[in-house]
Structure 1
């Protein structure tokens, strides 16, 4: 294993020798085939050969402020947050869990310095592809390009829908979070969740208490 300050790269062989690694890639390919069942076997083989398996410990940084996001990460396990620094205060912008695509969006697509930080909130394992390999694979395999386009559309729509939450009250935003992303409410700490909602932990606690008293 090759350890860096950006996580630990885990060596693997393909065809697979390790069941755990094989399971990770089975999940990735299944997700891609949901977006395009016609993804070719040749493309799958090359996608796997271009991937790195990286394990991040809690508080490891995937992308730091001022860095260019040069990899797309497919989260296998764990929890990652996107942070932004506004007037010296950090704020949680969003959270990514197992099964999610993890990138610093603007930095990745424009290949410019990131205005946000991607931070592992717990031990996290990802499959990573460098942007150069990603672009080359899209040029070589139209079936993989379709996967990329559909994933981009899917996450863009999610981000667009969430952007409209800003006009809602904190209570309404918490209810929307429970409705659309219930897993996050159990995974994310109260501090990080309050930061995302733009309220204090005390106010979040009061919202939870009122919400569950009404629901019960």
Structure 2
């Protein structure tokens, strides 16, 4: 999940295959999403469900509504977890990503990880090399 701050792309979050992402800004305010979703892995597909269809599923299916509630709680949990673990100075944030999210190293570029952590790509690569 990325957003643009002026001319700079900022990576905000990573998701695993099968993850459902919802833009609350877009859903509730009926405006373009602040965040953009993109794939980091070749062969991955993003599917968009129109709001009207999504709302209809919420009304017609208690099971779907419950599933969406659980997913919303998971998003709150992961946001809180990120605040807890991905903090401190740049080196500590890099260590936290390597420790708590090692799976993303296999599919995400150093440039994108550096954006996520808030450092330059060169700095990220240097610290990663020192740590590993």
Which runs of 5 or more structure 1 residues have no equivalent in the other structure?
1-81
Match of 1:137 in 2: 57
Which runs of 5 or more structure 2 residues have no equivalent in the other structure?
none
Match of 1:150 in 2: 70
Match of 1:104 in 2: 23
Runs of 4+ in 1 over 6 A off after TM superposition: none
Q: Note the 1:1-216 alignment, pairs <5 A.
A: 82-121=1-40, 122-165=42-85, 167-212=87-132
In structure 2, do the counterparts of structure 1 residues 126 and 135 end up closer, same or farther at CA, with 3 Å as the change threshold? same
- Inter-partner Cα distance in structure 2 for 1:174 and 1:109: 34
- Inter-partner Cα distance in structure 1 for 2:76 and 2:68: 12
- Inter-partner Cα distance in structure 2 for 1:166 and 1:110: 29
* CA shift for structure 1 position 193: 0.7
In structure 2, do the counterparts of structure 1 residues 167 and 87 end up closer, same or farther at CA, with 3 Å as the change threshold? same
Question: By percentage of residues, which structure has more helix?
Answer: 2
Question: By percentage of residues, which structure has more strand?
Answer: 1
Q: Output the TM-score relative to the length of structure 1.
A: 0.54
- After superposition, the CA RMSD in angstroms is 2.1
SS for the counterpart of 2:36 is: strand
